[in-house]
Amino acid sequence: MNLLLEEVARATVRLADAGVASPRADAEELAAAVHGVKRSELHTVPDSAFDARFWEGVARREAGEPLQHITGRAFFRYLELKVGPGVFIPRPETEVMVGWALETLHQMDVRDPLVVDLGTGSGAIALSIVQEAPSARVHAVEKDPTAFVYATRNVEELDLRGRVRLHLADFADALQELNGTVDLVISNPPYIPMSEWEYVPPEVRDHDPAAALWGGGDDGLDAIRTVERTARRLLRPGGHVAVEHSDMQGNAVYWVFAEEHGWRDVRNHRDLTDRDRFVTARLAVE
């Protein structure tokens, strides 16, 4: 075993003792990021190239700092994204909602579907859609300036400026010029009620931006209610919406998309852990 793999094994024990949920994977990812290789290539790093900064990263991870803040990158579907303090770290659960959106776009009889991503953060959803649905055009809205910088960097580094248009705006009233023309609205908005503060893992509540976590209102659903109103304004008749929520909010979010507001085919969808994760609906055709 080479030196780096030995150090990764030692780091795995330290991270496990610190309560890190995936100590081996995190140790390998830290080593890969520091040494500029893929995790599968760690064995190729010669002993002479071992970088002691690896242990700095291990210490930060032991202290509860998110892995993605240390490495500066997050993986989402087929993307590697720039992330860091001030932008929400995309989660695997959201990948399932993006998969639904891509399937829905594929089934549409629309040559160049128009998509809006509300609260884009790092740009993970918007960029995945244009990468995997080449004919789609996406308008991505983000009101936080720090998160907007990360989204801009990711769009530019992936050279997708012509297909993802970013807007620094509040999604409550953004994109008035697109009213009634959008084929699909998708959003992973903040949805945690403040009453749940003590139950949110410190790694999340102390490092992810507050504006991306706390949804507002006693039930945490104020931001989702705003998404519903904005989607109703933006969508064409027959257009679709998808919005993420916590695994305890599926029933409540279902009723946000009420039939009297023009919604049809409202459905709950489950994530990879078989928990309620997002709701979809279709705007009625008059």
Q: Check 54, 66, 76, 188 and give the catalytic one.
A: 188
* Six-digit token string for 94: 């959201």
Task: Consult the annotation and say whether 71 binds a ligand.
Answer: no
**189 classed as catalytic:** yes
- Does pTM surpass 0.85? yes
Residue 148 backbone dihedrals phi, psi, to 5 degrees: -60, -35
Per-residue confidence at 147, pLDDT binned at 50, 70, 90? very high
Q: What is the pLDDT of residues 267-276, one digit of tens each?
A: 999 988 899 9
Q: Check 23, 66, 113, 189 and give the catalytic one.
A: 189
Residue 111 backbone dihedrals phi, psi, to 5 degrees: -70, -50
Task: Consult the annotation and say whether 150 binds a ligand.
Answer: no
CB 88 within 8 A of CB 121: yes
Task: Consult the annotation and say whether 120 binds a ligand.
Answer: yes
DSSP, res 99:
H
Q: What is the pLDDT of residues 37-93, one digit of tens each?
A: 999 999 999 999 999 999 999 999 999 999 999 999 999 999 999 999 999 999 999
**188 classed as catalytic:** yes
Task: Using CA atoms of 144, 236, 257, 163 in order, give the dihedral in degrees to the nearest 10.
Answer: -30
